[in-house]
Amino acid sequence: MLEIKNLSFHVNQSEPGETGQKTILNNFSYTFERGKFYGITGPNGSGKTTLAKLIMGIHSASSGNLVFEGTDITENSLTERAKAGIAYSFQNPARFKGISFRQLLGIAAQTEDESVLQEIVARVGVCSLDFLDKPVDSKLSGGEIKKIELATTIARNPKLAIYDEPDTGIDLWTIGPMIDLLKKEQKENQTTTLVVSHNKNFLAAADVVLILKKGQFVYEGDLDGAIPMLTNLSTCTLPDLCEGENDVRCYR
Partner 1 sequence: MLDAIDKELLKKVASLEKIPKGAYNIRKNGKLLGRQSSANITIETNSRNTGINIIIAPGTKNESLHIPVILADVGMTDTVENNFIIGADSDVTIIAGCGIHCGSKKDETHEGLHEFTINENARMSYIEKHYAFGDGKGKRALNPKTSLTLEKNSHAELILEQISGVDKANRVTEANLNEGASIILKENVLTEGNQETLSKASLLLKGKDSSANLIARSVIKGNSRQDLLVQLDGRNKCYGHIECDAIIFDNGKSEASPALRAEHPDAELTHEASIGKIADDQLMKLMSLGLSYDEAVNWIIQGFLRMD
Footprint on this chain of partner 1 (rule: CB under 8 A): 56, 58, 77-79, 82-83, 87-88, 90, 92-99, 103-104, 107-108, 110, 152, 156
Residue 89: CB minimum distance to partner 1, A? 9
Nearer to partner 1, 37 or 90 (CB): 90
Q: How far apart are CA 183 and CA 80, in angstroms?
A: 26
Nearer to partner 1, 87 or 126 (CB): 87
Nearer to partner 1, 135 or 239 (CB): 135
Residue 70: CB minimum distance to partner 1, A? 21
Residue 99: CB minimum distance to partner 1, A? 4
Nearer to partner 1, 89 or 197 (CB): 89
Nearer to partner 1, 64 or 93 (CB): 93
Q: 124-133: long-range contacts at Cβ-Cβ below 8 A with a sequence spacing of 24 or more?
A: 124/150, 124/151, 124/154, 124/181, 125/177, 125/181, 126/150, 126/151, 126/174, 126/177, 126/178, 126/181, 127/151, 131/101, 132/100, 132/101, 132/102, 132/105, 133/100, 133/101, 133/102
**Rounded (5°) CA angle 44-13-243:** 40
Residue 83: CB minimum distance to partner 1, A? 5
Nearer to partner 1, 74 or 203 (CB): 74
Residue 141: CB minimum distance to partner 1, A? 18
Residue 151: CB minimum distance to partner 1, A? 11
Nearer to partner 1, 26 or 100 (CB): 100
Strand partners, 30: 4
- Of 64, 69, 81, 75, the closest CA to residue 5 belongs to 64
Residue 168: CB minimum distance to partner 1, A? 15
